[in-house]
Amino acid sequence: MLKTNRRVAVVGAGVSGLIAARILQDHDCDVTVIDKGRGPGGRAATRRRGTGLSFDHGAQYFTARDSQFSRCVESWSERGIVAEWCGRIVEIEGSQAWPKTDQPRRYVGVPGMKAIAHHLAVDLSLLQETRIIEMSRVGNLWLVKDAAGQTHGPFDQAIIALPAPQAAKLLGAHPFAAEVRTVPMTPCWAVMAAFEQRIDVEWDGAFVRNSSLAWVARDGSKPGRTGSADCWVLHASPGWSAAHVDHSRDDVASSLLAEFSRMTHDSSPPIHLDAHRWLFSATPLSLDRLTLSDKDFRLAVCGDWLAGGRIEGAFLSGLATAQSVLEQIGSGLKRQAPQF
Spatial distance between the Cα atoms of 214 and 283, rounded to a whole number of angstroms: 15
CA distances to 43, 206, 244 from 202, in Å:
28, 11, 30
Q: What pLDDT is stored for residue 1 in this prediction?
A: 43
Nearest alpha carbon to residue 29 among 54, 1, 62: 1
- d(Cα 270, Cα 258) in Å, to the nearest integer? 11
Helix, strand or coil, per DSSP, at residue 316: helix
pLDDT of residue 202: 94
Q: List beta partners, residue 189.
A: 277
Q: Which CATH architecture best describes the domain 47-113+184-282? A: Alpha-Beta Complex (3.90)
Task: Indicate where the chain has its CATH 3.50.50.60 domain(s).
Answer: 7-42+118-182+285-328
Neighbours of 110 (CB within 10 A): 20
Q: Are strands 299-301 and 230-236 parallel, antiparallel or unpaired?
A: unpaired
To which H or E segment does residue 327 belong?
helix 310-328
DSSP one-letter code for 338: P
- What is the Cα–Cα distance from 215 to 205, expressed in whole angstroms? 7
Distance separating alpha carbons of residues 300 and 283, to the nearest angstrom = 20
- Cβ-based neighbours of 291, under 8 Å, separated by 6 or more: 300, 301, 302, 306, 317, 320, 321, 324
pLDDT of residue 333: 64
Predicted TM-score of the model (pTM): 0.94
Q: Which amino acid is at 300?
A: A
Q: CB-based contacts of 72: which residues, under 8 Å, 6+ apart?
A: 64, 315, 340
Distance from C-alpha of 227 to C-alpha of 331, rounded to nearest angstrom? 48
Alpha-carbon distance 71 to 59, whole Å? 20
Specify the pLDDT at position 53. 94
Nearest Cα to 124, choosing from 47, 44, 12?
Answer: 12
Q: What is the pLDDT of residue 226?
A: 86
CB-CB contact of 42 with 12 (8 Å)? yes
> Between 3.40.50.300, 3.40.50.720, 3.40.50.12500, 3.50.50.60, what CATH number should domain 7-42+118-182+285-328 receive?
3.50.50.60
CA 220 to CA 159: how far, in whole Å? 36
HSE of 154, CA atoms in CB hemisphere, 13 A: 10
Q: 179 CB contacts (<8 Å, ≥6 apart)? A: 287, 292
pLDDT < 50 regions, the chain: 1-3, 335
